[in-house]
Structure 1
Amino acid sequence: MTFNNGVSRRQVLQAGGVGAGFSLAGCLGSLGSDSGTELTFASTFEKGTLENIAIAKLKEKVEAETDGELAINHVPGGAYGGEEEMTQTLSNGGLEGMGAGPLPIAMWAPEVWFHSSPFIMDDFEHLLRVNNSELIQSSYENIRQEHDVRVLGDPLYVGWRSMTSNEPVKTVEDFQGFELRETPIGTWIDSWEEIGVNTTTTPSDEVYSSLESGVAEATTSDANQALSMSLYEVQDYFIEVEYLVGNRNLWMNENSFQNLDETHQELILEKSQEASEETTQQGKEAEQETLDELESNGMEIISDVDREGLREAARPYIEEQFDTNWKGTWEEVKSI
C-alpha cells in the first residue's frame, strides 16, 4: 500500500523502527470489567518509549480520578501489529486507543503531510502552533468523521531528527555529493536530494552494520536512536542538523469515545493533554541527557550547522509540494 504522499506501508514501519509483528486484532480488543469500563491502548514499541510513557501516565491519571471505574489496559510491544495494522484496527473498532506517530495523517490526510516533512517546522513550539491551527485541525476533524479516529491532546515531542557521520559536515557546500542513509520516505529523501545529497536507504535494523561496513558513511538519526544503536562505535560525530521535529500522538477510536458518558469523555480529553505535556517535558530533558551520554562515549557534538542554508537549498522541492500536493503555502505555515 502506498499513500498519496509517497509513503508506503513498509516505509512507515521502517521509519518507526518497528516490524509488522503479528496481529491479535479482535482477540484483545475492549475487555469487560465488573466494576466499570476498560479501554485498551496499544503501541508497537516496548515499554519505556515516550508514547508508552504517555499511555502509562494517562492510565494512572484516569484510574486514580475514577477509582478504577474507568480503566485502561496498556498493551505495548506490537501485539496489534505494526503501526498501519494497529491504526486500521483502531479505525475499525477492534481497539480503543493507541500511541503512535502521525500515520493517520499519512494515510488519510496527505494534504497536510508537511506536518512531518523535513525543514518545514522551526521547532517543536512551531509544530504545536501549526498542529493547533485550522489548517491541521480541519484534517483531524475529517479523520474523526470519516475514519472514526480521534487525536487526543497535543503531539508528544520525541526529539529532533539530526544525523551521525564520520565527517563534520556543517554547510550546504559540505553536503554536495555527501553520501547519506535516510529512511525510505519519499519527502525525506527528495528534500535531501534537492540540497545535493546522495541518499541511500537501508532498513532501520541494518543501520549499524551498513555504517560499520562502509555501505553508508552517515545516517539520519535522533539522539536516542544514536545511543540505543551504539552508533558512537562506528561514527565520530553527532551533527545537530535538526531538520525534522519528531512527534507522536495519543489516538482513540471515535465510537469508543462517544460510548463513554460525558464525564468520562471530558476526563479522557483533560488527562490526555496532561499526559502529553508531561511526556513532552520528559522527552526534552532526556534528549539533552542523551546528547551528554553520546559525548561521554566519544562522539563530538556539532551544533554550528547552517540549518537556514540547508532549508533554503531545499526550498524549491518544498514549494513544489505545496503547489501540487499540500494544503496552504509554506509562507502561511511559517507565519503561524
Structure 2
Amino acid sequence: MAGCLSSLTDSQESNGEFTVGELGNPDDNCLDCISPSASFAIADRLEEESDGELTMIIQPDNQICSSASCGTKVQSQVIEAGYGSIGNSTAFFPENQIWLVPYTFPSPESITHTITHEYAWENFWLPFARKYNVLPFYYWTPALRDVFISEGGTEQIGGDLRRPEQLEGLIIRRTASRAADESLGTWSATPTEVSWGDTVQGMETGVVQGLETWSSVAIGSGMGPVIDQVVDVGFMCGQGTLWVNTDWLQSLPDEHRDLIAEVTRETTEEAVAQADELVDERVGQQESPPDGSAWDEFGVTVNILDDDEQQAWVDPLDPQQNPEKWEPERELLNNFEETPDDFYERVYEIARESSAPESPSEFSIDAWWDDYLEEI
C-alpha cells in the first residue's frame, strides 16, 4: 500500500498536481460565501498563473478526510494538504492547544496576525514542523468562537442567553480541545463531545442543547435551522487552517514553490480582510440582524452584551487573572525544546501590540512558510 501511495505522489509531482482535502465546497465556501475558504480561489489562481503547470486537486465535503483526520493524512503523505481547524487539530497536534486559551485574541484579525508573526514561526511552527513534518499552508477567514443554543435550550433557560450561569443544565457540544471543555464547564454548562455531523440531529432531538463554534462555519455547515440564539462572547480562536506536508513542499521546483507561497499568502490576506464584513453583514451578528443576513433569514436571536455582562463571561476564564487554569496548555509546549518558557505571554502581547492591525482591512503577512523551509 505504501508503495502505491508513493507512486501516486511521485506521479502527481511530476505532473504538477497535488491533492487537498477540504471540509467545504465551492458553492458554500468560496471567498464570497457565508463560510469562506481560500482553497477554491487558490486552485484557480495557481492553474492560471502557472499556465496549467500546477493543478490543485481539491477533494471537497470531507470526501477524502475530515477536520478530525486530515492532519494525520497530511503527516503520512497520503495527501499533500488538508483542512483542520486549530481546535480540531489538537486531536493530532496537541501543542495547538496553546492557541485556544480563551480571551487570548481581542479580534479575528489578531488571530492570524499572531500565528503568522515571525516570533510564532521561529518559536512554535519551526519546532512543530520538525516534529510533525507539517506546517500551516493557508487560512480561512478568522473568527472568534461564541455559544449557540437550540429552541429547546431557549425553553430550558426561559429567555435570552446573557449570563454564563444560565447554561447550567444545558448539554453543549464542544471541540476536542481541553480549553473548550474547561470553558463551558466553568460557565456551568455540561460539555460533551458529539461529532460535527451528528450535532444538527442532536440539537433537533434534544440530545444536546447547543454548541460552541463560530457563526459563519455553523451556518455554512447547515446548523442555521437548529440554532435559536447566539451569545456574542468571542471567547476563543476560530481559525480554519490548511495543513501541508513539508517534505512535499521541499521537493517542489523552486518556481512552483515560490508561486504557491505567493498565492497562498495573498489569498490568506484577502480572506482575513473580509472578517468584519462577513460577521456583520453576511452572518448578521448584530442586535438587529440586517435584512437578508443569515441570522435574519433563520430568525436567530443575537445577544450582544453590555460591558458588565461581557465581563461576567470573561472574568472566570481570563488568562491574566487565572493563569493556573491554563497551565496544562502551557505545559504542552515542553514538547518543543526550542520554545521559550514565556512563549504564551509573548503571544498574548503580540495580539495586542501597536503593530497589530486595528481592523481586518489593515492585516498583512510579513512572514510565511517559505521563509522557514530551509531551517526545518
Structure 2 length-normalised TM: 0.69
User: Following the alignment from structure 1 to structure 2, what is the Cα–Cα distance between the partners of residues 234 and 320?
Assistant: 35
3-state SS of the aligned residue for 1:199? strand
Q: Give the structure 2 partner of residue 132 of structure 1.
A: 116
Q: Give the structure 2 partner of residue 11 of structure 1.
A: none
What is the CA-CA distance between 1:70 and the residue it aligns to? 2.2
What is the CA-CA distance between 1:188 and the residue it aligns to? 0.6
- CA distances 1:273-313 after superposition (whole Å, capped 9, x unpaired): 11212233456533331223212432221111533332221
Does residue 287 in structure 1 map to residue 279 in structure 2? yes
Which amino acid in the other structure matches residue 261 of structure 1?
P
User: Following the alignment from structure 1 to structure 2, what is the Cα–Cα distance between the partners of residues 93 and 233?
Assistant: 38
Pick from 310, 315, 319: which aligns with 2:313? Answer: 310
Give matches, 1:1-336, under 5 Å: 29=9, 31-32=11-12, 36-47=15-26, 48-49=28-29, 53-102=37-86, 106=90, 110-133=94-117, 134-135=119-120, 137-153=122-138, 155-165=139-149, 166=154, 167-175=159-167, 177=168, 179-185=170-176, 186-224=178-216, 226-227=218-219, 235-282=227-274, 284-288=276-280, 289-291=282-284, 292-304=293-305, 306-315=309-318, 316=322, 318-321=325-328, 324-326=331-333, 328=342, 331-336=345-350
3-state SS of the aligned residue for 2:102? coil
Consecutive unaligned residues in structure 1, runs of 5 or more: 1-23
What is the CA-CA distance between 1:157 and the residue it aligns to? 2.3
Aligned CA distance change for structure 1 residues 324 and 74 (closer, same or farther; 3 Å)? closer
What is the CA-CA distance between 1:112 and the residue it aligns to? 4.4
Q: Is the 8 A contact 1:322 1:330 kept in 2?
A: no
3-state SS of the aligned residue for 1:278? helix
3-state SS of the aligned residue for 2:79? coil
Aligned CA distance change for structure 1 residues 322 and 187 (closer, same or farther; 3 Å)? closer
What is the CA-CA distance between 1:27 and the residue it aligns to? 8.9
Aligned CA distance change for structure 1 residues 100 and 108 (closer, same or farther; 3 Å)? closer
- CA distances 1:251-292 after superposition (whole Å, capped 9, x unpaired): 322222122222221111111011212233456533331223
Between the two proteins, the alignment pairs up a number of residues equal to 310
User: Following the alignment from structure 1 to structure 2, what is the Cα–Cα distance between the partners of residues 78 and 232?
Assistant: 20
User: Following the alignment from structure 1 to structure 2, what is the Cα–Cα distance between the partners of residues 108 and 85?
Assistant: 8
- CA distances 1:164-204 after superposition (whole Å, capped 9, x unpaired): 332322234545x3524122533211122123333344433
Q: Give the structure 2 partner of residue 13 of structure 1.
A: none
What is the CA-CA distance between 1:243 and the residue it aligns to? 1.6
Point out the more displaced range, 189-198 or 199-208: 199-208
RMSD after superposition? 3.4
Which amino acid in the other structure matches residue 220 of structure 1?
E
User: Following the alignment from structure 2 to structure 1, what is the Cα–Cα distance between the partners of residues 107 and 116?
Assistant: 14
Q: Is the 8 A contact 1:41 1:72 kept in 2?
A: yes
3-state SS of the aligned residue for 2:179? helix
Q: Is the 8 A contact 2:230 2:303 kept in 1?
A: yes
3-state SS of the aligned residue for 1:72? strand
User: Following the alignment from structure 2 to structure 1, what is the Cα–Cα distance between the partners of residues 221 and 81?
Assistant: 29
Q: Give the structure 2 partner of residue 21 of structure 1.
A: none
Aligned CA distance change for structure 1 residues 137 and 105 (closer, same or farther; 3 Å)? farther
What is the CA-CA distance between 1:52 and the residue it aligns to? 8.0
- CA distances 1:51-100 after superposition (whole Å, capped 9, x unpaired): 98422211222222221122222222333333454322322223222233
Aligned CA distance change for structure 1 residues 299 and 74 (closer, same or farther; 3 Å)? closer
Q: Give the structure 1 partner of residue 367 of structure 2.
A: none
Point out the more displaced range, 135-144 or 186-195: 135-144
3-state SS of the aligned residue for 1:242? coil
What is the CA-CA distance between 1:323 and the residue it aligns to? 5.6
Structure 1 length-normalised TM: 0.76
Which amino acid in the other structure matches residue 320 of structure 1?
E
Structure (1 or 2) with the greater strand fraction: 1
User: Following the alignment from structure 1 to structure 2, what is the Cα–Cα distance between the partners of residues 46 and 233?
Assistant: 20
Aligned CA distance change for structure 1 residues 205 and 95 (closer, same or farther; 3 Å)? closer
Q: Is the 8 A contact 1:30 1:38 kept in 2?
A: no
- CA distances 1:99-124 after superposition (whole Å, capped 9, x unpaired): 33237962565344121343332222
Identity of matched residues, %: 15
Aligned CA distance change for structure 1 residues 180 and 122 (closer, same or farther; 3 Å)? farther
Q: Is the 8 A contact 1:191 1:318 kept in 2?
A: no
Point out the more displaced range, 202-211 or 142-151: 202-211
Q: Is the 8 A contact 1:90 1:97 kept in 2?
A: yes
